[in-house]
Every structure is written in C-alpha cells, then in structure tokens.
C-alpha cells in the first residue's frame, strides 16, 4: 500500500540504492588502476540484493511480520556494504585522481536510517492491529 509511511520510506531506500549504483564513481589511483567500480561483483551483488529485498518488502505489505524481517535483512546487507566501503576507502592511498572516495558511504547510512524508520512504522501498525483485536 503506497499510502503507508513505511512504504514511502522503503521506496526512498530503493531509489537511494539504485542511485548509488548509477552514480557510483569509479575511483582510480595514480597508476590508473580501478579501486572502486560498480562493475565489481561484490558491489553489484550487495546493491542488487539490497534493492531486490526492499522491493520484495514493499510488495509484501499484507504480511507485516515478513516485511519487518525482510527490512532487518536489508539493514544487514547495507551494513555489510558500508563495511566494504569503509574497508576499501581505508586501503585506498591518499593520492587518487578523484577525491570522491568517501561520498558513496553516506547512502548506505541513509538507507539504514530509512529502513529503521520503516520498521518502527511497521511495528506501530502491528501494535495497532493487536490492540483492535483485543477489543473484539
């Protein structure tokens, strides 16, 4: 359901991760070797899994518990992606041709925040449904 706030959060997360894939810079060192590239299998797989699980979570709006678990798994994928970014940026030497080596690290952080907000809204909906069931 699009009108729920958690769906909006998850759509923003999917768009941010797709934007990370599209605009992710290819960082090269002075020798011309690629240090970051969106064509690397690890980055591609993690970004694809993050986008796919977010879309699956959006489409499973009828089952809030499954949506909550999928969002937690997507948070874990984003944490792994963030860890890979941090590891790669620490191993990059200081003399790169592009000074944008840390820009892509903020998008997984923002995605994690949006997914946490979505999980809070899902939990709030679940509590509301449980309270209404109690009154019957």
3-state secondary structure of 5: helix
In this structure, how many other beta carbons lie within 10 angstroms of the beta carbon of residue 22?
8
Of the candidates 43, 110, 42, which has an alpha carbon nearest to the alpha carbon of residue 75? 110
Number of CB atoms found within 10 A of residue 58's CB: 22
Predicted TM-score (pTM) of the model is: 0.83
Domain ranges of the chain: 5-135
- pLDDT tens per residue, the chain (136 residues)? 677 899 999 999 999 999 888 876 666 656 666 666 777 788 889 999 999 999 999 999 889 899 999 999 999 999 998 898 878 777 766 555 555 555 667 888 999 999 999 999 999 988 988 888 776 6
What string of DSSP letters covers 20-44? HHHH---EEBTT--EEE-TTSHHHH
* Residue 36 main-chain phi, psi, to 5 deg: -120, 140
């Amino acid at each position: 359901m699009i009108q729920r706030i958690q769906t909006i959060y998850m759509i923003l997360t999917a768009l941010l991760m797709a934007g990370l894939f599209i605009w992710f810079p290819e960082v090269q060192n002075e020798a011309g070797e690629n240090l970051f590239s969106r064509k690397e299998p690890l980055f591609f797989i993690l970004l694809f899994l993050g986008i796919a699980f977010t879309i699956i979570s959006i489409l499973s709006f009828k089952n809030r518990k499954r949506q909550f678990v999928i969002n937690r798994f997507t948070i874990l994928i984003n944490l792994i992606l963030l860890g890979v970014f941090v590891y790669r940026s620490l191993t990059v030497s200081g003399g790169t041709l592009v000074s944008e080596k840390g820009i892509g690290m903020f998008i997984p952080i923002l995605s994690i925040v949006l997914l946490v907000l979505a999980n809070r809204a899902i939990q709030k909906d679940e509590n509301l449904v449980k309270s209404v069931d109690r009154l019957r």
